[in-house]
Structure 1
């Protein structure tokens, strides 16, 4: 049987890399006609990607190639640095793919590139090999629709980042509600990001298809907009999620074991879990405010704090830990709510395990995710919707203890509508990947598309 060779190019950030590698596993487990080669780009002087690539089940259907490291230009902003890194890697990608195609008998016929949403510039290389480029989008369908709409109004109506800020709300096809401009990512409204964002959006529009880590039952309005809206109708969408890494190996077995043991003796749905992602840190005043809120609420809690814990006066009813095994915690029946930064992977995990979120976004597209969860899907409660810390900068405002406490109590409400909706969506998120489910069907269509490239 002739295999179809697919080249994956993930973005080096861990949250992107993890879901891309999970997606690669999903593809080869579903269809043995596929062979996947993942080309790993590393940020200079980091080793964090190694942890994830080493845990992959290497087989004759999946292999990983680490590309040579490139240095970044000094003192450039993140957008320029990323652009420079990808440009510098193009010759290495070309070389690696040439090597694969010369050994074609071994791995099959080159069928397609699957590139991360931030790596769309690699379409240039795919064109040289005359194969289609599919984009792997690690965020929501609604956010994809927003990104494409922002490109359209920039091109068609000449609305630049400065003019965007003068509006209070925006009508976006992938959202049923008007989107407040305060919830837009800072990269969209800051002048210094404009050229990077335009190139990135353009890359999305030029892709041969966009694979999204989401599912139709969760985002039915957004998925429909790709059929009903003339600006989006030309784009082939494959919502194949939720793609989750549920077997994540823990860094610290002892601490992890300790946390789970403590959870085992708590009542069902009684504990709130506070965790703000790998980059979610707060200054001392904000940390104190969170501590006051937890203490005043009197609820049981686990708080993953990226700085040394405060003197813990609440040790009987809660735990302050440096690092937390998020998947294991969310899966535990004692967890009743999740105070989260609304990163998309964390959002999908909490939905999968049926745990409602209290939203506290920090950066990137997390504000849009929070808005979607609270206002569009009515599946989360709000602590904040537009709290924002720009890259390395200061937060745009301070959140008081009473607001945090209200969010914590609200997310633990056992009879609330939010909890019912999340439980129902949890069932959908499991069914959609099984035969007959929408994500299963979309994945089948995607595989047919890839395999058909080899017979053309």
Structure 2
């Protein structure tokens, strides 16, 4: 039996690592001929300890931690690409060592994270193709290609739209997108150039696996058919339904509280690993929750110190004392209907029958999780491509309600816009309507997301086409 191996290189950060390992597990479960080695790049600013999430002895998946020999303990965002570039010799050494074993299967290719395209050079050195595993949606992938085309071919960079009240026509969405909903990275010159370069490298690969499914993003996926772009493989939703390691005592306390709530009665507020707010914004959320009267579970994180002169981004942490930031008496007044927590076991919470709505930052993993569990979402994007995700979910697909789609977090100062309690309350009230069209659509999409992965489903078939490409007919 012909055997082959793939080398996976995820970007640092749990969100990227988890998705990469989940698709690796699907691949080895699907085909006995395939084995995978995941190279773990350690980054000082990210928790890259995947051993806390996965066993190191997954059948036919090997994990190799690349040496962490980068001297700077805090790497600015502007140096992230240089940091990944500096790992190329380490990747080359690791792959060379893999191939020295006499029983090593044929190296069939590299599967690279969307931010690790420089590793295409290493794959070329070994004479094997590169594939991209794109951890966001197909519509955003198309936006990246379109923005790069506008810059390279038409000399119309998206950065020119920064201060204009205008709209951009993008092939992957039916509605023109207002410039204020574009991701911040496409409105900042340095970051836009960073994305343009990745898009150029994407075009040189043999194929792109995307964490989406045809039933969700049919318009976006079909928009690729007449463009000079490598084959697209929609293989999602790729989710870690077991969740990450979490304090067992705290998780038990949260789940027991949810057990005591009526079905679909609780609105869950959670804003991802980077999501935190100023004290003034926290109070506006608190006023909205207290006034709207819905039961709530609120994950709240403390903002790290901000210094406009430093580019390093630090991760939020849990508050030692929640009363330091919440309105006086809030916890006492809402003790019967609400619970305020720190870091949340998001997957377990979304899967609980008590959850009736999800106020989210619209990270792609969170978006797919909400759809999987059939929980409608209220959009409050903060950074990265989240504004675009929110636009797609609300305006394009009718699968979410809006709180503030053009909200953008300022990582360097406290000068981020304030969303008022009235705006938040309106969004939550719309979200928690028991019998509305959005809730019905989300339930239908939940069923479609699950069918996509089973035998005969759209993503199951797409993954099969990818495997066929790895094992071409002789």
Q: Superposition pairs for residues 48-197 of structure 1, below 5 Å?
A: 48-52=47-51, 55-56=54-55, 58-71=57-70, 77-78=76-77, 80-103=78-101, 105-165=102-162, 166=164, 168-197=166-195
Superimposed CA distance per residue, residues 292-347 of structure 1 (whole angstroms, 9 cap, x where no aligned partner): 00000011000000133235131110100012111111001110000000000000
TM-score for both structures, normalised by structure 2: 0.91
Task: State how far apart, in whole Å, the 2-side matches of 1:60 and 1:270 are.
Answer: 41
Q: Superposition pairs for residues 43-442 of structure 1, below 5 Å?
A: 43-44=43-44, 48-52=47-51, 55-56=54-55, 58-71=57-70, 77-78=76-77, 80-103=78-101, 105-165=102-162, 166=164, 168-227=166-225, 230=226, 232-307=227-302, 308=319, 309=322, 310=326, 311-312=330-331, 313-394=333-414, 396-442=416-462
Alignment CA distance shift 1:300-1:59 (3 Å): closer
Task: Check conservation: 1:359, 1:381, Cα contact below 8 A.
Answer: yes
Task: Report SS of the residue matched to 1:49.
Answer: coil
More helix by share: 1
Task: Check conservation: 2:44, 2:75, Cα contact below 8 A.
Answer: no
**Shift of residue 356, structure 1, vs aligned partner:** 0.2
Once structures 1 and 2 are overlaid, which stretch shifts more, 197-206 or 22-31?
197-206
Task: State how far apart, in whole Å, the 2-side matches of 1:380 and 1:410 are.
Answer: 10
Task: State how far apart, in whole Å, the 1-side matches of 2:217 and 2:467 are.
Answer: 22
Number of equivalenced pairs: 448
**Shift of residue 88, structure 1, vs aligned partner:** 1.1
Alignment CA distance shift 1:70-1:196 (3 Å): farther
Task: State how far apart, in whole Å, the 1-side matches of 2:28 and 2:379 are.
Answer: 35
1:40 match: 40
**Shift of residue 204, structure 1, vs aligned partner:** 1.6
Task: State how far apart, in whole Å, the 2-side matches of 1:76 and 1:109 are.
Answer: 36
Structure 1 gap ranges (5+): none
Task: Report SS of the residue matched to 2:453.
Answer: coil
Task: Check conservation: 1:301, 1:318, Cα contact below 8 A.
Answer: yes
Task: Report SS of the residue matched to 1:226.
Answer: coil
TM-score for both structures, normalised by structure 1: 0.94
Task: Report SS of the residue matched to 1:221.
Answer: helix
Once structures 1 and 2 are overlaid, which stretch shifts more, 111-120 or 381-390?
381-390
Task: Check conservation: 1:5, 1:108, Cα contact below 8 A.
Answer: yes
Task: State how far apart, in whole Å, the 2-side matches of 1:161 and 1:171 are.
Answer: 11
Task: State how far apart, in whole Å, the 2-side matches of 1:208 and 1:372 are.
Answer: 27
Q: Over aligned residues, Cα RMSD in angstroms?
A: 1.8
Task: State how far apart, in whole Å, the 2-side matches of 1:372 and 1:238 are.
Answer: 20
**Shift of residue 138, structure 1, vs aligned partner:** 0.5
**Shift of residue 249, structure 1, vs aligned partner:** 4.2
